Amino acid sequence: MPNSLLSTPARRWATGATVATVVVGAAVAGPLIAGADSDLPDRTAAELLVDLASLDVGPFAGTIVQSADVGLPELPATDTTSLPTAALSLLDGSSTARVWYTDGDTYRFALQDDQNESDLIRDGQDLWFWSSEGARASHLVVPEDAEGSDDGGNPFGDKGPFGGEGMPEDMPENIPTAAASLALSMIEPSTQIDVDGTATVAGRNAYELVLRPKDDQSLIGSIRLAIDGETSMPLRVQIVAKDATEPSFEVGFTSISFDEPEESTYEFAPPPGTTVEEIQPDDLDDAAAEHHTDMGVGPEGLDDSGFSTVGSGWSTVFVARDVDLDALTSHLEGDAATLAAEFIAQLQDVSGPYGTGRALTSDLFSVLLLDDGRLLAGAVSLDVLEEAAQDPAAQ
């Protein structure tokens, strides 16, 4: 398959896989949210959870802002319209995106910074990815039998917390709806759930649902969900580190409308001078299989022997095996490759009864990459990971 935008992580936008990053760096003036009293009726946590579980996402349009400061080492500034580098804005920096959504077959994202713009547009079976940088575009005709192509799809599965029509599988997962889904998936007996008043988010009255881990080992102090008082749609998610008062991670709408976007929003014609590449569905499947093989795993991903967990609940440690860092970064080019090299260079050398390797620590999570190919990660401190590395389940 020739080199193209869709041969990078952007390729996942055109398949049934989940997208992790659809934001670009941008300065944001002022805080995302202002607290406020409202006339919303009292609701219990259980009632709000029922509303979320039955949520059917309808048409909307809005601006989403994500900001994060999780205590990672400072890295050089790069052009965050590049998808690999945009991923790091989820951990350190501020990002913004415009989104229009009609249904699972009709949506658009506009990613902008001061100099460049990238758009993802789906209108029926036509899927476009366009970048003003380099005047490049990729076009894919989505097969009619593609999962989620005619029923709205759902990135969380049929039984996810937003089951039903919901959002399509190839919608990005950094929007508040998906972030809320991730938070709700963590609910279990080790979680305390409360309603903590109301807030004003994007000019709308919202309930504040708060999840707090009872597990002292977790680095997460709380996760706060702002839920629209009229539609029950998640409008903002904040993650606050233990012993902190300000969120280390926040994603939310700064403006939102629940009117159906105009049909013209999804009309796209490549600007004059744009290099257009036609992508075939088979090319995507072949490239995905090649990518998995390069990383040392089969086309189907890791099997049960390659992935395991140690512990449970909020202090669960995830263990992957046969992780090849060189293979994971070999596909990066330009700023993305430079940033990855800078990032890896700042990892901490560690050793112990578990072996030798490198580690990354932050306010919300830690990662331990061992020289024997094991990777351990969790919302816990490094010493918890080092202890988990000696557990038989992690061997």
How far out from the chain centre does Cα 259 lie? 25
pLDDT digits (tens, 9 = 90+) for 6-25: 333 333 332 222 222 222 22
The candidate with the shortest Cα–Cα distance to 116, out of 79, 67, 76, 65, is 79
Largest CA distance in the chain: 61
Residues with Cβ within 8 Å of 274's Cβ and at least 6 positions away in sequence, in order, are: 130, 135, 136, 137
pLDDT digits (tens, 9 = 90+) for 56-93: 889 999 999 888 888 876 655 555 444 444 555 566 67
Side-by-side strand order, sheet with 355-361: 307-310, 317-320, 375-378, 366-370, 355-361, 348-352
The candidate with the shortest Cα–Cα distance to 317, out of 368, 351, 363, is 368
Q: pLDDT-based confidence at 142, cuts 50/70/90?
A: confident
pLDDT at 2: 38
Distances (CA, A) of 234 to 47, 151, 202: 14, 22, 11
Contact call for residues 38 and 205 (beta carbons, < 8 A): yes
The candidate with the shortest Cα–Cα distance to 11, out of 265, 328, 286, is 286
CA atoms within 13 A on the CB side of 301: 4
Lowest-pLDDT choice from 32-36, 168-172, 246-250: 32-36
Q: pLDDT-based confidence at 319, cuts 50/70/90?
A: very high
- Look over the chain and give the mean of its residue pLDDT values, rounded to a whole number: 75
Global pTM value: 0.75
**Domain 45-164+182-275, what architecture?**
Clam (2.50)
**Residue 387 pLDDT > 90:** yes
User: What share of the chain in percent tops pLDDT 90?
Assistant: 43
Rg over CA atoms, the chain: 21
* Cα–Cα distance for residue pair 367/347, rounded to 1 Å: 10
pLDDT digits (tens, 9 = 90+) for 221-231: 999 999 999 99
Exposed (0-12), middle (13-18) or buried (19+): which is 268, by Cβ within 10 Å? Answer: middle
Distances (CA, A) of 373 to 7, 38, 319, 349: 26, 53, 10, 15
State whether residue 52 is helix, strand or coil.
Answer: helix
Mean pLDDT for 322-333 is: 80
The candidate with the shortest Cα–Cα distance to 27, out of 74, 87, 77, 75, is 77
User: Does 257 or 186 have the greater pLDDT score?
Assistant: 257
pLDDT digits (tens, 9 = 90+) for 372-384: 999 999 999 999 9
pLDDT at 156: 29
pLDDT digits (tens, 9 = 90+) for 102-132: 998 999 998 777 677 789 999 999 999 988 8
Give the other-Cβ count within 10 Å of 318's Cβ.
Answer: 17
**Residue 177 pLDDT > 60:** yes
Take residue 215 and report the two structure tokens written for it. 């597990």
The candidate with the shortest Cα–Cα distance to 2, out of 274, 271, 287, is 287
Over the range 117-134, which residues count as b (16 or more CB within 10 Å of their CB) and which as e? ebbbbbbeeebbbbbbee
Q: pLDDT-based confidence at 100, cuts 50/70/90?
A: very high
Q: pLDDT-based confidence at 175, cuts 50/70/90?
A: low
| Domain limits, the chain | 45-164+182-275, 305-394
